[in-house]
Structure 1
Amino acid sequence: MQDIAEQLQGWHASGHSFAVATVVGVSGSAPRDPGAALAVNAAGEAIGSVSGGCVEGAVYELCRESIASGTPVLERFGYSDEDAFAVGLTCGGVLDVFVQPIAPGTDPGLDAGIAHIASGTPVALARVVDGPAGLLGATVAVTAGTHHGSLSPAPGTTAVLERALVAEARAMLDAGRTGKLVLGPDGRPCDADGRGVAVFFVESYVPAPRMIVFGAIDFAAAVVRIGKFLGYHVTVCDARPVFATGRRFPEADEVVVDWPHRYLDSQLERIDGRTVLCVLTHDARFDVPLLERALRLPLGYVGAMGSRRTHRDREAKLREAGLTEAEIARLRSPIGLDLGARTPEETAVSVAAEIVAHRRGGGCLPLSGGDGPIHHDLSRSDGGPGSVPRVHAA
């Protein structure tokens, strides 16, 4: 929902009803991750996507029906060779979609959640996507210090269950996790085979992950552009003020003049396991002090530009600085995949491809060269427990 938060906030502020269809479970080669959303307002305008085109028409109609009836619904879209003309996923995956009607001002949890998402405030939006009829669609918005909305007085719910939901959702927010959560009557999480009171879908909305590009060179401008395209908050840092200017990097969120290692030291509270570092200076004066620190931090990706000879020299200096072989092995250098890239733009594609492959577990091989699964991210296979009312197959 975060991708369409600005438009949703506009609809919400206008006071008109709309419906949001959210992907809450995927398996196989389903095209979108959990959390992807399509929304339709009362006038029939649509924003967002849940499948990249496969089932958009059917989901659009479900949203229109939900607005009219005021009733949420959970639908499953799958694939079957027996009926090639039914609505479903041509890719062969399974997609669970929860459609929820929203009338501004009637649900404190949803109202607060949409406002927090639009403002950039970290929030976990916990919605009941399967359970007792009176509980379906109940929403609690959880932030670091408070929560809005309630499960009560829905049948079968207790204060214990609500307290457990808030605690679990807050823990997922702290970790930046989105996914299904099943709670039992005692408030304890259940596994995939457990019998719970309700199935919740918890969406964690946190600030964009960071990409820090060290070295204000011509290649950096291309890496900044592709970093923004991938959804990163991008910072350029260089110790040379003549090169590190906003005019040279207009698409960067920040341009900082500082020694790389000193800037990294100042950012320890703003970096996490999603943070990407692209070290493009290929100058030992800047690289070694920076990498000595970076390779000891729990960062998502650390890559450094340079020739193979430069990399060998850099490794030797890092060993002299006391880094272990395991720490040095975390360094992706020379940075990027072997695409035969030469221009800054081609090099940026090479770097971005390695970042995505590292994050998603890709094998970096041509898809046409194998017959295995296209998607390697194991976290996507969470179909989750709980019954699903209807199945569409194609």
Structure 2
Amino acid sequence: MNCFQQLAQALEYGPAVLATVTSVRGSVPREVGAKLVVDSAGQAFGTIGGGAGEAKVLRQAKEVLQTGQKQFVDLDLSGLPQRQTQGVCGGHMRVWLERWQGDAAKALAQTVLQRLQTERSLTLVTPLEQGKGPYLVENAVQIDPAIAFVETLHPAPTLLIVGAGHVGIQLAQVAHLIGFQIAVQDDRPEWANIDYYPQASQILAEPLDRAIASLAQHQNLYAALVTRGYTYDLEALQLLLQRPSPCRYIGMIGSEKRVRQVYGAIAQAGITNEQLAGIYAPIGLDIGALTPAEIAVSIGAELIMVQRGGTGRSLSERLRRALVH
């Protein structure tokens, strides 16, 4: 969504080029669908991986900005000495450069934004033929990849922060940086306010049951319980576990003793062990975090792990073991 916000803003001042990763092979820095925008002044927003590969894309994008001749840019990241490569990651990327301009492009960018902001996915078709521009279709379609690039765009996930204290303030900053929309709930307006949470799209300074009911339509909801007491955790868990659309993630702050106390109390409400096993508590990855900012980073890392399907292991672990043995 941030990319299309930047694109919509750029189009107010002239044409812009949208660079999109359309295929990858091997080890590469970004995934299919990763994007960057180059505005009419040649300024770039976003990234498709950085380094020499991105520099090559930026050079070509500035040409496309002038000529309008949309094109592929192939990036060789194999690092093989006999080739002119743009990196040593070990793989290959293909990037499509499309110039957006005029009223039709502005309207399309705004439509994409509006749908994503209202929690709706959409399918964008980008024809590869010169003279044909991108368009939306209502449902995913099968089109020959030699004719068009088809991608389904999903709204950014929403992180509900329950408890607007010191950890919540830091977590909102971290979660915003990693692409989450932020909703904050606390019945204390002196804590749950725009001054403490400028990143939040929703500030719910109201009872928890009303706040969670207002998020009933969110299909991609993550929740972090960083409250001031286990009674608030207990209420939040009961409400979140009863949502018709299950949360993608529920994490709860606290020591193991506090977590067990909550689990013991909530079991009496008919919550099963299988449901409790899906909760991340104590919240976050074990990085030795102590301060609110460090705890927020550990929670942010766990959110990424769940969203992307990671393991949480150190990336250097295998190589370090190989060096020792």
State the TM-score bracket (shorter-chain normalisation): 0.7 to 0.9
Aligned to 1:141: 135
Deviation at 1:291, TM superposition (A): 0.6
In 2: Cα distance, 1:183 partner to 1:246 partner = 45
Residues 282 and 306, structure 1, Cα contact 8 Å, conserved in 2: no
* Percent of aligned pairs with the same amino acid: 27
Query: Which letter maps to 2:132?
Result: A
Question: Superposed, which structure 2 residues align to 1:162-181 within 5 Å?
Answer: 166-169=137-140
Aligned to 2:223: 277
Shift in alpha-carbon separation, 1:17–1:225, aligned structure 2, 3 A: closer
Number of residues of Structure 1 aligned to a counterpart in Structure 2:
314
Deviation at 1:33, TM superposition (A): 2.6
Deviation at 1:363, TM superposition (A): 1.4
Residues 318 and 328, structure 1, Cα contact 8 Å, conserved in 2: no
Structure 1: which 5+ runs fail to align? 130-134, 143-165, 170-180, 185-195, 373-394
In 1: Cα distance, 2:299 partner to 2:27 partner = 25
Shift in alpha-carbon separation, 1:284–1:97, aligned structure 2, 3 A: same
Aligned to 2:283: 335
Shift in alpha-carbon separation, 1:10–1:215, aligned structure 2, 3 A: closer
In 2: Cα distance, 1:219 partner to 1:276 partner = 16
Structure 2: which 5+ runs fail to align? 321-325
Residues 234 and 266, structure 2, Cα contact 8 Å, conserved in 1: yes
Query: Which letter maps to 1:98?
Result: W
Instruction: Report SS of the residue matched to 1:350.
Output: helix
Residues 78 and 92, structure 2, Cα contact 8 Å, conserved in 1: no
The answer on 1:183 being equivalent to 2:154 is: no
In 2: Cα distance, 1:242 partner to 1:49 partner = 38
Aligned to 2:232: 286
Aligned to 2:147: 198
Structure showing greater relative contact order (alpha-carbon pairs closer than 8 Å, 6 or more residues apart): 1
Deviation at 1:124, TM superposition (A): 3.6
Shift in alpha-carbon separation, 1:102–1:263, aligned structure 2, 3 A: closer
Residues 78 and 85, structure 2, Cα contact 8 Å, conserved in 1: no
Cα deviation, 1:229-285, whole Å, max 9, x if unaligned, reads 22222222123445434444444343322232332123202x22x321111126343
Question: Superposed, which structure 2 residues align to 1:219-234 within 5 Å?
Answer: 219-234=167-182
Question: Superposed, which structure 2 residues align to 1:361-372 within 5 Å?
Answer: 361-371=309-319
Select 1:321's aligned residue among 239, 252, 269: 269
The answer on 1:13 being equivalent to 2:12 is: yes
Shift in alpha-carbon separation, 1:277–1:200, aligned structure 2, 3 A: same
In 2: Cα distance, 1:42 partner to 1:252 partner = 30
Residues 211 and 275, structure 1, Cα contact 8 Å, conserved in 2: yes
Cα deviation, 1:30-61, whole Å, max 9, x if unaligned, reads 21233333344555444432222231222123
Superposed CA RMSD in Å reads 2.9
Instruction: Report SS of the residue matched to 2:171.
Output: helix
How does the TM-score come out when normalised to structure 1?
Answer: 0.70
Select 1:83's aligned residue among 62, 81, 84: 81
Cα deviation, 1:214-240, whole Å, max 9, x if unaligned, reads 122222211122122222222221234
